[in-house]
Structure 1
């Protein structure tokens, strides 16, 4: 534990599947903080996968100049459907791949495919539009972008403005947890053993637990909505930390001001944002 950590003995609520929250829990522990892990959302493949399967076939045939992956889940959906169809998910050499951030890039490299573009400064759809030189140059291109059912229209509108032919397909759906096991995007992973002081929290116990929490990390607009369905009026002491601009915007749209917004959508990005907000509160500018 860092000796100067202002996070010591504080608890952050992580609204994720325990296995996906493990890295954030570990980073919090390193700084002397604890975590309460409560899964509110789950991810499912579409009930009808014909559109996704057809898009996958076109991708493997080399029909697109670019494949755009805005989350690890989009790649998981492609892999799941490829396995179901007895296909090998191999990105054609003629197709370049753009990813939104490091987690998606790592998943792509595990597949054996290179990353041709990733924004360096802003790991978001806005950052992709701002930093993507080929897109900004306006040269016509065709794009496949599998996405969530609740994805924003930022990239779609950006492609249209540059004259790119974008094929958008729903790769997965965001649903309240637990989802339908027959449509699960991936098999549930075993819950990791949590360090001392951290614990799992059932959604029905969340309202009673809020008084013991110091912060809540929102990793998507959907986590905002599902949290507020249970806690319509979060207590004033609870710091609301957003993973990025779209999540922060959703909080503001619901009348709540984020205590902090992460510069990068990573565990360290979220924790750093929370820590900096606490330091600013302890030492306000004169």
Structure 2
């Protein structure tokens, strides 16, 4: 039975991988080759960590936009891993392991290697949010048992089945929302929520900050933490949010990030239909098809 978890899981999983992982990028590149991009000359500011913004920046550049990096958060290892380590040593006691980001996958597998834990117990099921998280698992030989079609934590819950009496480990950011935890507990499950990594405010990059002061066409937010820390940055730099130079469009990756923006009284100009970086670029293309190109800032 152990060999099964490293081979085929479900035909549906294979279908999900072929449909959802690669098509957005292929479509974007095809759009760049076949016609004039609506993003030509648009200055698009990316607020996620620089190491995770490269793919989106490359897609934007291929569409002749001008990507500008201003990371407002950084991903850091835990200062104390004892709680995570104890949970990983006890993996055999759990029915499900839930990973909500590729950062969580990397952090968990780094600790497994450090602790010399040989791998996941064969009976443990694994759920992942989003194609990049699933891909991170696959790179480590794990086919996720469930990946929801909507890439938010709450969408994991229906795929867990009857959670009554089940032991479920959530390994995620130290600032993760409690919504999924509450759903599991309401269903009679025992959820253990462990921080696998930290999300910290980033030191402002002088080049990116200068570009923000000059003015941009778009500011892209990919998580609630990017919203909160961008506002914090603006306050610290005497920039009036949301009345920023260039009157930028606010673009968000999904409804949870949109709500974070709404908490500051700001309605996003666009919300990606697919909650991925590729989906956000596609949403920007569609949005600007109906917008005239402004003079270069």
Query: What is the TM-score when the length of structure 2 is the normalising length?
Result: 0.79
Give 3-state SS (helix, strand or coil) of 1:118's partner: coil
1:186-205 → structure 2 map (5 Å cutoff): 202-203=205-206, 205=208
Unpaired segments ≥5 residues, structure 1? 179-200
1:58 pairs, out of 82, 87, 90, with 90
Shift in Å, 1:3: 2.0
Give 3-state SS (helix, strand or coil) of 1:35's partner: strand
Unpaired segments ≥5 residues, structure 2? 1-31, 235-239, 293-297
Aligned to 1:27: 59
2:283 aligned with 1:273:
yes
Aligned residues: 253
2:227 aligned with 1:243:
no
Query: What is the TM-score when the length of structure 1 is the normalising length?
Result: 0.81
Give 3-state SS (helix, strand or coil) of 2:106's partner: helix
Tell me the alpha carbon deviations over residues 82-120 of structure 1, each in whole angstroms, 9 at most, x when there is no partner: 2332333x1211001000110000000111111100012
RMSD over equivalenced CA pairs, Å: 2.1
Shift in Å, 1:203: 4.7
2:96 aligned with 1:86:
no
Q: Quick one: distance in 1 between partners of 2:116 and 2:122?
A: 21
2:165 pairs, out of 133, 137, 140, with 140
- Contact persistence 2:70–2:208 (CA under 8 A): no
Q: Quick one: distance in 1 between partners of 2:46 and 2:257?
A: 14
Give 3-state SS (helix, strand or coil) of 2:176's partner: coil
Give 3-state SS (helix, strand or coil) of 1:23's partner: helix
Shift in Å, 1:227: 0.9
Give 3-state SS (helix, strand or coil) of 2:44's partner: strand
Aligned to 1:175: 200
* Distance 1:126-1:85 versus aligned 2 partners, 3 A rule: closer
- Contact persistence 1:5–1:31 (CA under 8 A): yes
- Contact persistence 1:148–1:172 (CA under 8 A): yes
Shift in Å, 1:210: 4.2
1:161 pairs, out of 171, 180, 186, with 186
Q: Quick one: distance in 1 between partners of 2:291 and 2:178?
A: 35
Shift in Å, 1:138: 4.8
Q: Quick one: distance in 2 between partners of 1:272 and 1:210?
A: 26
Q: Quick one: distance in 2 between partners of 1:210 and 1:279?
A: 26
Greater displacement, 261-270 / 66-75 = 261-270
Tell me the alpha carbon deviations over residues 50-92 of structure 1, each in whole angstroms, 9 at most, x when there is no partner: 1111001011xx111100000111111112222332333x121
Aligned to 1:111: 140
Aligned to 1:15: 47
Aligned to 1:124: 152
Tell me the alpha carbon deviations over residues 168-209 of structure 1, each in whole angstroms, 9 at most, x when there is no partner: 11111111225xxxxxxxxxxxxxxxxxxxxxx925752653
2:123 aligned with 1:101:
no
- Contact persistence 1:144–1:167 (CA under 8 A): yes
Aligned to 2:17: none
